Chains A and B, each alone.
Chain A
Amino acid sequence: MPLLVRLDDQLHARRMTLTELSDAVGITLANLSILKTGKAKAIRFSTLEAICRVLECQPGDILAYDPDGEAQDPAP
């Protein structure tokens, strides 16, 4: 599943840390870390909505599909 999570880029652009995002969206740091490192198997719409709201971006800014790219394999 060659899906890329670009949460790091969005955080960097807004000079925001993962901890700050965690506080703002009300999602644990551990779960956001799983998402950021591409180890998540799925993402809830509510999570995506909260992140987009705080980072003022679109889902496409966070998720990307690269058919030729290496998959960010979820943890087994």
Chain B
Amino acid sequence: MRDSMIGGTRWLVQALKLLNLLVGIGFGITLLVSFWEHGPLVTQLVLKYGAAHAGPILTGMRVMLAAGILAVGVAYVFLRLLAAILATVAAGDPFIAENGVRLRRMGFALLVYQLGDLALGVIDHWLDLLGADTVPWFPSLGGWLVVVLLFVLARVFAVGAAMRDDLEGTV
């Protein structure tokens, strides 16, 4: 793989980490504002959805924002691990046991993310039943496939690194 490609990918991951942080700050501020401006927000929701649904919809919105902050945390862990793997590629020695551990952790991080996504799907459906304007939710099948792929790759790396370790001591 060309060094420029690795360098570009490392730069992209750093940019995504920054973007992820900004999104997290955005979610946090919005969540805080939803408490500070509780009164006006409820008034607007009552006007739009009626008194019976305004409270549950506001709660649903806050839960989704909190889940968004959790997702940002998970994405940070994922990107940090990816950056560490890319650093080993740039250093010219990526086939090490540590990268197997990193891939497994990335698999778990994405698994948490996917489970959170399922929970969001349930909340989205619930808000939809209340008549709230929601973005249609679809399960991320690709995401689940990547979870499986990461766990398989983690095992491949672990076995490969052990084999290489054995070979290094072979005369």
Contacts and interface: CB of A to CB of B under 8 A. Distances in A.
Main secondary structure of the interface of B (DSSP, over half): mixed
Contact of A44 (B166, B168, B170): B170
A44 B166 CA distance: 12
B65 to A, nearest CB: 50
Contacts of B169: 34, 39-42, 74-75
A55 interface: no
Interface string B141-171: 0000000000000000000000000101111
A40 B170 CA distance: 6
Contacts of A27: 171
Interface residues of A, number: 14
Contacts of A34: 169, 171
Contacts of B166: 41-42
A27 B168 CA distance: 14
Nearest to A31: B171
A43 B170 CA distance: 5
A58 interface: no
Contacts of A75: 169
A43 B167 CA distance: 10
B54 to A, nearest CB: 66
A39 B169 CA distance: 8
Contacts of A41: 166, 168-170
A35 interface: yes
Contacts of B168: 41
Interface in A25-76: 27, 31-32, 34-35, 39-44, 47, 74-75
Interchain residue pairs A-B with the least CB separation, the first 3 = A41-B169, A42-B170, A40-B171
18 contacts: A27-B171, A31-B171, A39-B169, A40-B170, A40-B171, A41-B166, A41-B168, A41-B169, A41-B170, A42-B166, A42-B169, A42-B171, A43-B170, A44-B170, A44-B171, A47-B171, A74-B169, A75-B169
Given A39-B169, A40-B170, A41-B169, 15 more contacts: A27-B171, A31-B171, A32-B171, A34-B169, A34-B171, A35-B171, A41-B166, A42-B166, A42-B170, A42-B171, A43-B171, A44-B170, A44-B171, A47-B171, A75-B169
